[in-house]
Amino acid sequence: MEIINKIKQFCFVALRIKKYEMMSDCERVIGKPIKYNPLLLKGKGIISFGKNVQIGVIASPNFYSHYTYLEAREECSEIIIGDNVAINNAFSIECSSKVVIENDVLIGVNCSFIDNDGHDLAIEKRNIGSPKTARIHIHQNVFLGSNVTILKGVTIGKNSIIGNGSVVTKNIPENVVAAGNPAKFIRNL
């Protein structure tokens, strides 16, 4: 039985991780995360990992079917992930300016951070204009539930919790629980 598990691990995990390493094109990567799940690093910017950053969770949804996507799109774009950050499966960051995740942050399944509008919002410029961007900052010891989306310009204060399925459009203070679409204050911790 042990040999079968090793074969499964190699075929369904190790080869996928290697494939996404080969498809990654970001050349400005600092640090080395612990990969339990595939990680695709894209863009011209900087992607920085602190110590003990975990990518993927074995006993969690989307382990065999999804990957983590980090894109520091422009040369001036920067993604900074601190120490002891645990990122669950199917996570993505689309960064045009700056995304900072401080130490000891927990991120649930299928979360995404987008620090830009994707396209210019003006109708006549939608396909040719430059989208607005604003940095995202996740402070120390924040816990994001599953299916959370963080939009441009958001800061989440230390120790706060964001409930499952939330869309965070405005800053969240420290030491609170927030949830909803859009996310709102629920209670103090």
* pLDDT, tens digit, 9 for 90 and up, residues 138-166: 999 999 999 999 999 999 999 999 999 99
Q: What is the pTM of this model?
A: 0.95
Asked whether the predicted pLDDT for residue 1 surpasses 70, the reply is no
Which strands make up the sheet holding 28-30, listed edge to edge?
28-30, 46-49, 78-81, 98-101, 136-138, 155-156
Tell me if 32 sits within 8 A of 55, measured CB to CB. Answer: no
- Return the higher-pLDDT residue of 53 and 120: 53
* Average pLDDT rounded to a whole number, residues 101-111: 98
Positions marked catalytic: 119
Structure confidence at residue 99 (pLDDT): 98
The number of angstroms, rounded, from the C-alpha of 141 to the middle of its chain's C-alpha atoms is: 15
Q: What is the pLDDT of residue 125?
A: 85
pLDDT band at 119 (very low <50, low <70, confident <90, very high): confident
Please give the sequence-ordered ranges of beta strands (E in DSSP) within the chain, or none if there are none.
Answer: 28-30, 34-35, 39-43, 46-49, 54-55, 68-72, 78-81, 86-87, 92-95, 98-101, 106-107, 112-114, 136-138, 143-144, 149-151, 155-156, 161-162, 167-168, 176-180, 183-188
Share of the chain above pLDDT 90, in %: 85
Higher-pLDDT residue of 25, 12 = 25
- What is the reported pLDDT for 109? 98
